[in-house]
């Protein structure tokens, strides 16, 4: 293959971010003529047509089935609400497409398993949209850990907190229904911090003990403020975890955490040092090394620049900063290069499936009030 | 009583901080002639004599029993290693003394219960040394929460992490032995964050689920580096908790957390706002209010000054800053005024006992891998 | 005009940033079919051809004169080293082109005057590349000031410090020669902070008193490390300034300021509040309002989001962040919309000329050791 | 001399801070029996008596002349408003007393010269109250600079901004009158940052070019809000400076800088690194070293602890923090030890005089709109 032809399904919030990434990445990564924005699907043909024009896609359709079966499409990029991931992915796999899906992979771990196994069986490449791991700053964190610069990791604290539903008068939306979203904060945000934890440590979560709450149990119907509808999934959740490498961990997630706008944060403690990060300052990584002279110890703020992974393509000066969509551009660059060079792409559907199992284990544990081995849920 | 006569037992790390606080507080709080530094006990009379001269105490003794029974002593201030707290306190109570003890109250919850009940029965006033709650900044946090400014508290995240034992070659000391210290990081540091959590929320912790580890299982003998001795208690611990008011919480503590020098931190999330604090910036409280105009939202950094509790006595200008020992001066001021005016002093031995129960519940839960109701341990 | 055809001259550091912006902005701002990447010029046709392919331009040339006279080019975008700005711009103006030039406008104030007057006489639209003013965060700052939220501005402190030449062994390059760069730190970086100051305050600098130094007076020849060449312009400069509205100001710039990677910063003090910003945290604006209750005063960190100017087109979630190149996309959006709708574009060559006068006044003042009225240099 | 007997004149804002320092320092620095709080003077004997009781002084008087001539007083500590410094100091010198004066030394440079020369002629020890230089963090900064860790210093930026007069309705007080205060912001706050600059660099300021403004030209009479009185000195001032060692510098000071509560800050740029500090985070020093590996560069936050100068006496744990009054305790410890051991005490009246000359040069330069050599004013 010498050119990758993209079929995009869904153009809401994250679909638009994908479109911006597709637009700039040929220039950023010198991939002109390697990407074709081939086909775009939306809920109806009018919207599909409108978005195709806006996003620079050649063709459009109001029926995603037409897209996933189209011979001119190499990659099916799924940016729909969660409940559609499974059907689209399975159908795309059936047609031998490469599948690129936003998180969470599915509404439940068992659906995710089905998708993962289907892709595995079909031998198609897959990619999950865990874009925060593509941030040069978090790539740097992983590099520092992998180098052993902070010693052996003994503790991970991570959060993905936001406040998009903090206001009780915000109307209910699809995120709050199990049949449309699956889990609540865990699925929408927690997926990112679970992925980040495992990405950074290079070790999977093995055991979890969770707690969770639906704090705002009812929300107004979007069309009738006086009609209150039940919120079906959790607003906030926490978990103690153990990694396979023995490290302890604590994870927290919330969609009602006032003031946290992009609250993906982590503190990774090793035997010789510590890393600290918040995505709200996405260009800064704080690094502490215990072997520094005792009167010159402290957290050093590394500001990402061209000396760090995947920054230089955007700008050759340090500290000038890349943005949210640029992370997506790196992610899609990985996809394109993986396809063109027939290399492994990461994180794939196995990771998406595994993370679904971790998240569901946390939710189950919170209900059963006990520790759970992720292997109880993850059989594949 | 028109003057309070102090008997200080122990002059190590924290005893010295008490001494500095005693020295300055008459001037700070206009309590000249209200405090008498009467008697000081150390492990032998030479050291006791030396310290009494340094700290400005009138008399000294190498036998704490002589101090606790001395008729000229009103308050017995216990600054010894943990294992001595119980005997000294019980003996002091027997002699009707007011007892002021550093944390943790005792080596175990059951010892703490004995001490609390003895004081209660004897009707003597008691005070626990949870000095961080006397910091004007944390007093301000409590005031903001109590005012309802951040709504109803729904989540508490707190840590007390330090790195004083992060280096595996640091020799073993009394903190690492159960018969001298009781719990490890939980007892030494965790006690502070449990207290802070309950102080801020005005609600007790009801249920806990803990995890803990002894990461560095052996340490050199202080006299013979080649001789390795077993560390008997935990280096790091975490817990999910539930408060009586229904709020979720997560607590973390470690004595091997590289880079955390005074890592008592908290994030208190309410339905209408959030507070964030780290003791390393002890004069700063970050406050977010969700009802601010949507384009003017953000965390505001309040810098403590004379407009806030217990600051003005030190300095009438904002932002000039008070230090660690000044917190102790506020604590002892509470003691002196409580005694002189026969008012309640807080936090007392009940709190110390309750916190011992919470900490021991966390440790027990970590071993049993299950949630525990604090009431299982706390019977009194 | 219903489509704007771009001719790009120069594809080094900043030219590449322009190219990335051109690539993404049709999608970001819904301007598909409104921009044509028509023509690209470089120093020779091989490089021009290579870059045209990389950047998605239709045609290329090794001779910028061919580009500026091409009838299919509407906008000449000048991204060359400083010494070429004048000739290219004048020639482009002669052919009636819209001219978009990177800063500084020219090597000297008198050259800048010639360019400004030529554009004015020809009646062509112009735009200067002061991209930091297009950052949503600084647009927000301007809005807050214009609203009077911090009262009347009484003081401005601003810097643009970097450290790209901090190492004395870094070889000399064109930035260090007067005939290629004009001024040193003042021209390269100082131009940005002068522009930012006037943009934020809405008032021009009237009087200046400067100081400057060439700290590293010689640097190795890039081809022969043993051959030292003289640095002809300043490494660092400072100035006291007065604005037309009476406010005092201090400006600082350096290209040898160790540790400052993107050190464009400002503190704007008003009679009722203060704003503080650093481009290294480009999404954060700190706002202090003196009328807040005395015990709730503090700097509030506003994190830019869709509620603020020119953010939502990139992402509909707060705090997710935009990057350096995104600022350029906003700048070029202003250009495209200004051209399509025949509206004023800002900042234009008048601003570029005026800033050259301010910078040259600072340099002159530093030599003459006296205050200078900018009007002494700025006659047009 | 084996004990130092203190005579304190003035017990307002800063006098109280001295008293707290006197109270604690015998314990902190093991100086029991080395200090006698002998005599206290205030404007009348009632107030003097009250304060003597509060502050623990043996005797009191309503007439400072009685104190400075008293044979039992060794050190005269001057904490009065500025206009009294000269008379008290000269009289104390006449009686051979050691003189410890708060800044600024006098209302004018010429008065300061008289005081300095009198002390020099009499051969009495003197000390100026520039307490911020006694902060362990700034002592550490000086040590790092003196070690050459950041190379040769090439630039100093410093401020001392506060907002105590930011509100135009705050009534006029003695700070605003020339015959009571001398200079305005320059004398009250600017003195500190000039001292800090020279202390850190180990080099005097040689040339200055200043600017200044009285922004709020009238203020209400404290007793009659409708009566407006003229503010006679500057609210804000800035200066470009050159140090004897060739470094450039910029200084700023303001008493109306909204939001700056303890805004003494500095950035010291060297050829190999940079230091950055704000007194509002008085325990943190940021250090950047340009020789760090290019992908591990960044500002490291050093948190002061027992490894740094003059911290351990307060607390043996890092990061626990000392406060404003503790700086005064260090300053007075220097005084006591200097007297007991007949060593040099620093900074002395020469420094106070020199700083008065620098400040007055800035003010003069602001009026004359020109650079001034400090040597024009400083003849002694």
- Most B CBs within 10 A among C274, C298, C318, hence the mutation to make, goes to C298
Q: What is the tens place of the pLDDT at every residue in A98-108?
A: 999 999 999 99
Q: Which of A130, A156, A173 is the last residue of a domain?
A: A130
Q: What is the tens place of the pLDDT at every residue in C281-321?
A: 999 999 999 999 999 999 999 999 999 999 999 999 999 99
Please give the structure tokens belonging to residue C239: 């100035």
Q: Which residues of C touch D (CB under 8 A)?
A: 150, 154-155, 157, 163, 166-168, 209-211, 213, 215, 236, 238-240, 242, 248, 250, 252, 254, 256-260, 269-274, 288-290, 297-299, 369-371
Q: What is the tens place of the pLDDT at every residue in B28-79?
A: 999 999 999 999 999 999 999 999 999 999 999 999 999 999 999 999 999 9
Identify whether A328 is part of a domain. no
| Chains contacting C (3+ CB pairs below 8 angstroms) | A, B, D
Residues C187 and C278 in one domain: yes
Residues C147 and C92 in one domain: no
Confirm if A22 and A39 have CB atoms less than 8 A apart.
no
| Chains contacting A (3+ CB pairs below 8 angstroms) | B, C, D
Average pLDDT, chain A: 97
- Nearest Cα residue to C23 out of B353, A20, B121: A20
Q: What is the tens place of the pLDDT at every residue in D91-149?
A: 999 999 999 999 999 999 999 999 999 999 999 999 999 999 999 999 999 999 999 99
Q: At what angle do helices D324-340 and D13-28 cross, to 10 degrees?
A: 60
Question: What value of ipTM does the predicted structure carry?
Answer: 0.97
- Nearest Cα residue to C262 out of C166, C130, C128, C164: C164
Range of the domain at A161: 132-323+355-365
Residue B36 phi, psi (nearest 5): -125, 125
Give the total number of structural domains in chain C: 2
Residues A252 and A112 in one domain: no
pLDDT for position C1 = 82
Residues C111 and C160 in one domain: no
Per-residue DSSP letter, B171? P
Residues B111 and B179 in one domain: no
- Nearest Cα residue to B199 out of B115, B277, B263: B277
Identify whether A341 is part of a domain. no
Please give the structure tokens belonging to residue A25: 């990445």
CB-based contact C300 B298, cutoff 8 Å? yes
Residues C59 and C153 in one domain: no
Percent of chain B with pLDDT over 90: 99
- Nearest Cα residue to D322 out of C12, B341, B17: B17
The burial of B179, by beta-carbon neighbours within 10 Å (0-12 exposed, 13-18 middle, 19 or more buried), is given as: exposed
CB-based contact D259 C240, cutoff 8 Å? no
pLDDT for position D200 = 98
Closest CB to A157 among B168, B252, B272? B252
Model confidence band, residue D253 (pLDDT cutoffs 50, 70, 90): very high
**Cα–Cα distance for residue pair B339/B3, rounded to 1 Å:** 9
Closest CB to B257 among A240, A258, A274? A274
- Read off the pLDDT of each residue in D178-194 and give the average, rounded to a whole number: 97
Identify whether A376 is part of a domain. no
Q: Which of A103, A130, A157 is the last residue of a domain?
A: A130
Residues near A27 by beta carbon (within 8 Å), at least 6 away in sequence: C19, C20, C22, C23, C54, C55, C56
Residues A58 and A88 in one domain: yes
Residues near B350 by beta carbon (within 8 Å), at least 6 away in sequence: B116, B120
- Most A CBs within 10 A among B144, B155, B367, hence the mutation to make, goes to B155
Identify whether A289 is part of a domain. yes
Distance from CA of B309 to the nearest CA of A (A): 25
**Cα–Cα distance for residue pair B305/D262, rounded to 1 Å:** 10
CATH label of the domain that carries residue C150: 3.30.360.10
pLDDT for position C329 = 98
Identify whether A377 is part of a domain. no
Identify whether D331 is part of a domain. no
Per-residue DSSP letter, B279? G
Instruction: Map tokens 């971790």 to a residue.
Output: A358
- Most C CBs within 10 A among A26, A27, A51, hence the mutation to make, goes to A27
Neighbour-count burial for C355-369, b at 16+ CB within 10 Å, e otherwise:
bbbbbbbbbbbbeee
Considering only CB atoms, which chain C residues are within 8 Å of A323?
314-315, 320-323, 325-326
- Nearest Cα residue to D331 out of D139, D86, D115, D59: D139
pLDDT for position B235 = 98
Taking the alpha carbons at both ends of chain A, their separation in whole angstroms is: 31
Considering only CB atoms, which chain D residues are within 8 Å of C242?
211
Residues D124 and D138 in one domain: no
**Cα–Cα distance for residue pair A301/A282, rounded to 1 Å:** 12
* Angle (nearest 5°) at CA A55 between A53 and A58: 60
User: How far, in Å, are B73, B144, D158, D298 from residue D265 at the CA level?
Assistant: 47, 30, 6, 19
DSSP annotation string for D122-153: HT--EEEE-GGGGSHHHHHHHHHHHTTTT-SE
Q: Which of D130, D161, D185 is the last residue of a domain?
A: D130
Model confidence band, residue D1 (pLDDT cutoffs 50, 70, 90): confident
CB-based contact D13 B54, cutoff 8 Å? no
Please give the structure tokens belonging to residue A181: 């979203």
3-state secondary structure of D220: strand
Per-residue DSSP letter, D33? T
Residues near A323 by beta carbon (within 8 Å), at least 6 away in sequence: C314, C315, C320, C321, C322, C323, C325, C326
Strand partners, D267: D157, D276
CATH label of the domain that carries residue D74: 3.40.50.720
Closest CB to C369 among D210, D271, D371? D371
Model confidence band, residue A379 (pLDDT cutoffs 50, 70, 90): very high
**Cα–Cα distance for residue pair D370/A279, rounded to 1 Å:** 48
Identify whether C328 is part of a domain. no
* Angle (nearest 5°) at CA B137 between B132 and B139: 70
pLDDT exceeds 90 at position B1: no
Distance from CA of D58 to the nearest CA of C (A): 38
Q: What is the tens place of the pLDDT at every residue in B290-299?
A: 999 999 999 9
Please give the structure tokens belonging to residue C304: 């830019």
Identify whether B10 is part of a domain. yes
Separate counts of helices (H) and strands (E) for chain D: 12, 17
**Cα–Cα distance for residue pair A54/C170, rounded to 1 Å:** 46
The count of other CB atoms within 10 Å of the CB of residue A100 is 26
Residues D136 and D55 in one domain: no
Model confidence band, residue A1 (pLDDT cutoffs 50, 70, 90): confident
Which residue numbers in chain C have pLDDT < 70?
A: none
Percent of chain D with pLDDT over 70: 100
Confirm if B211 and B241 have CB atoms less than 8 A apart.
no
Number of C/D CB contacts below 8 angstroms equals 112
Q: Which residues of D touch A (CB under 8 A)?
A: 140, 287, 294-303, 307-308
**Cα–Cα distance for residue pair D119/D111, rounded to 1 Å:** 13
Residues D231 and D255 in one domain: yes
Neighbour-count burial for C86-100, b at 16+ CB within 10 Å, e otherwise:
bbbbbbbbebebbbb
Residues C89 and C214 in one domain: no
Considering only CB atoms, which chain D residues are within 8 Å of B304?
none
Q: At what angle do helices A13-28 and A45-55 cross, to 10 degrees?
A: 30
Task: Please tell me the pTM assigned to this model.
Answer: 0.98
Residues D11 and D109 in one domain: yes
């Amino acid at each position: 293959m010498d050119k990758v032809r993209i079929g995009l399904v869904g153009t809401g919030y994250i679909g638009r971010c994908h479109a911006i990434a597709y637009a700039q990445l040929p220039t950023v990564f010198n991939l002109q003529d390697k990407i074709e924005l081939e086909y775009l699907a939306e809920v109806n043909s009018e919207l599909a047509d409108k978005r195709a024009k806006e996003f620079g896609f050649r063709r459009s359709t109001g029926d995603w089935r037409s897209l996933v079966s189209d011979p001119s499409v190499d990659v099916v990029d799924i940016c729909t609400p969660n409940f559609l991931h499974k059907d689209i992915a399975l159908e795309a796999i059936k047609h031998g497409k490469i599948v690129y899906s936003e998180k969470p992979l599915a509404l439940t771990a068992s659906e995710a398993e089905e998708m993962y196994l289907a892709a595995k069986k079909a031998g198609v490449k897959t990619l999950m949209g865990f874009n925060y791991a593509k941030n040069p700053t978090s790539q740097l964190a992983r590099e520092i850990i992998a180098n052993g610069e902070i010693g052996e990791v003994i503790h991970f604290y991570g959060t993905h907190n936001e406040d998009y539903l903090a206001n009780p008068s915000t109307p209910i939306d699809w995120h709050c229904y199990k049949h449309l979203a699956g889990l609540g904060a865990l699925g929408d945000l927690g997926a990112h911090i679970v992925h980040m934890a495992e990405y950074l440590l290079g070790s999977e979560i093995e055991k979890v003990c969770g707690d969770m709450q639906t704090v705002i149990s009812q929300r107004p119907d979007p069309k009738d403020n006086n009609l209150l509808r039940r919120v079906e999934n959790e607003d906030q959740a926490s978990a103690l975890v153990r990694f396979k490498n023995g490290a302890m961990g604590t994870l927290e997630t919330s969609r009602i955490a006032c003031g946290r706008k992009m609250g993906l944060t982590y503190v990774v403690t090793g035997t010789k040092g510590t890393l600290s990060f918040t995505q709200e300052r996405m260009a800064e990584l704080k690094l502490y090394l215990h072997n520094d002279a005792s009167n010159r110890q402290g957290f050093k703020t590394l500001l990402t620049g061209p000396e760090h992974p995947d920054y230089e393509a955007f700008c050759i000066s340090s500290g000038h900063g890349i943005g949210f969509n640029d992370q997506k551009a790196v992610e899609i660059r990985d996809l394109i290069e993986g396809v063109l060079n027939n290399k492994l792409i990461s994180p794939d559907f196995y990771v998406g499936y595994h993370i679904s199992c971790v998240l569901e284990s946390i939710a189950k544990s919170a209900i059963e009030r006990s520790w759970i081995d992720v292997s109880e849920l993850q059989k594949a």
